[in-house]
A and B are shown apart, each in its own frame.
Chain A
Amino acid sequence: MGSNLRIVIAKPGLDGHDRGAKVVARTLRDAGHEVIYTGLRRTAKQIVETVRDEDARFLGLSSLSGAHNHLFPRVCELLIEEGLSDVIVFGGGIIPEDDRPALFSSGIKAIFGPGTPTNEILEFIDTASSMDDVGVGAKTDWHWQSTA
């Protein structure tokens, strides 16, 4: 187990539904990680600055508002612009299957929908943290095959 990873959990955009983000944050905490929670309604820029200042290795984005097609790629773009290409990004919330390929190609490495067992998120974190070159700016087609 790669313990003590620093992970930012963020809620981008106008979206007040934070139950999922809190459950994920709690799961990661109980697995021994240090989780920095941003709170609600953050802009892409604010999230990227938080990841930079907190030296986070992973960033989890949660969205239930339907704006993921805009917000998730924007966060990925800004991370790369800021020189944070090695940060590993995953997402969760209400993300239809049809939307996922575009999000993966913007640099997201896993998307977890409702009903995902929390253990699966931990398996993803373990797997990705032991891989080379899977950050948001990596030139790889690899992404996690989630069950939900």
Chain B
Amino acid sequence: MNLGLINDAINGDRRSLARTLSGIENGTLNIMEIQQNADIPHRIDSGNWKSLAITGAPGVGKSCLIDKLLSIWAGSGIKIALLAIDPSSPRTGGALLGDRVRITSVDDDSLKENIYIRSIATRKSSGNVPLIVADMVEFLHMAGWERVVIETVGSGQSEVRCAAIADRIVVVEGPARGDGVQAEKAGLLELADAVIVNKSDLKGAEKHAEELLESFELGLGDVPPVMLTSALNETGISEAADALLDLPDTGRSVRARWRERLLAHYERKILESPDLEEILSLLAVGSISVDEAINTLGGQ
């Protein structure tokens, strides 16, 4: 372990930070070893969230909205990191990471010291956030990035893996996303600590927000805030930025979160197994069954 590199990263050198994060992502650096060996300055725990996942369907405006939120938070002196996740090709393992195209706040000379953006490919992970991101978030905290926003892969109704990693979950919706029944369906929305209906400049946004709120009120536990924003016209953004910064944990889904954590760790165990490639080949030619494969990979 290159302790010099890690200490430089903790002391604010951005290239060392980027390299350390690569090491964690590639498995050449281990977060527990770093915690044991590096000189980590004592930081006061604000008691508020350290990681916030922003998720939602492709095209609802997550990147544009995040860009505006970053501007406001960084402008108020908060050091904020964005981990932007995009999918890897299941065929070749390659990825096109394009989230930076829409994020321009980091180009602002007055803000760039307070913003760090890193694009991350899902690699082998099947969820909308790979589990290793949790370790990357942990290191960013050590290096003084007090708040970390995770932009998940564009997600449908049932992709709740981000619950395994982030302290809070914000679901971004668009206007006119189906009839009122959509808001009643089980899934991602049940785990949301807040919902933002973006593109409020378009028809149907207010109605959709009302439907969501009604649906939440029928359920158990605290009702999460439902906010309207237009990243395009910059309306509702500063209100949302304030509300999100102090967002309380609705505590609606503690068991569900642990379920996701358990699944994510179990999946990682299988994906990291040295026998995986051989087992896949055996499965492909039909010489073993799925049950036999599971017993070999993680069934002890």
Bound state CA distance, A32 and B94, in angstroms? Answer: 4
User: What residues on A are CB-neighbors of B26 within 8 Å?
Assistant: 4
Q: Given A53-B18, A54-B119, A37 and B93 touching (CB < 8 A)? A: no
**Given the contacts A36-B100, A38-B100, A46-B107, A84 and B93 also touching, CB distance less than 8 Å:** no
Which one of B14, B101, B107 lies within 8 Å of A37 (CB-CB)? Answer: B101
Q: Report, as a range, how many residues of chain B touch the other chain.
A: 20 to 34
Question: Are A25 and B101 also in contact (CB < 8 A) when A53-B14, A55-B21 are?
Answer: no
Task: Report which residue of B18, B92, B100 has the largest number of chain A beta carbons within 10 angstroms of its beta carbon.
Answer: B100
Asked if B19 is an interface residue, CB under 8 A from chain A, the answer is yes
A34 pairs with B98, CB closer than 8 A: no
Chain B residue nearest in CB terms to A29: B94
- A22-46 toward B: CB 8 Å interface, digit per residue (1/0)? 0001101111111111110001001
B214 CB → nearest A CB, Å: 40
**Whole-angstrom distance between the alpha carbons of A26 and B98 in the complex?**
12
- Does A49 belong to the interface (CB within 8 Å)? yes
Docked-complex contact A32 and B92, CB < 8 angstroms: yes
Mark out the residues of chain A between 75 and 130 whose CB falls within 8 Å of any chain B CB in the assembled complex: 82-84
- In the complex the two chains form, what is the Cα distance from A83 to B112 in whole Å? 18
Residues of B within 8 A of A46 (CB): 107
Residue A145, interface by CB 8 Å: no
A62–chain B nearest beta-carbon distance, Å: 14
Known contacts: A39-B101, A53-B116, A55-B21. The answer to whether A31 contacts B121 by CB under 8 A is: no
Q: What are the 3 closest A-B residue pairs judged by CB atoms, nearest first? A: A39-B101, A55-B18, A29-B94
Q: Can you list 17 contacts pairing A with B, beta carbon distance less than 8 Å?
A: A3-B93, A4-B123, A25-B96, A26-B96, A28-B94, A29-B89, A33-B94, A34-B119, A36-B100, A37-B98, A39-B102, A46-B107, A52-B15, A53-B18, A53-B116, A82-B15, A84-B15
A: which residues have CB within 8 A of B? 3-4, 6, 25-26, 28-39, 43, 46, 49-50, 52-55, 82-84
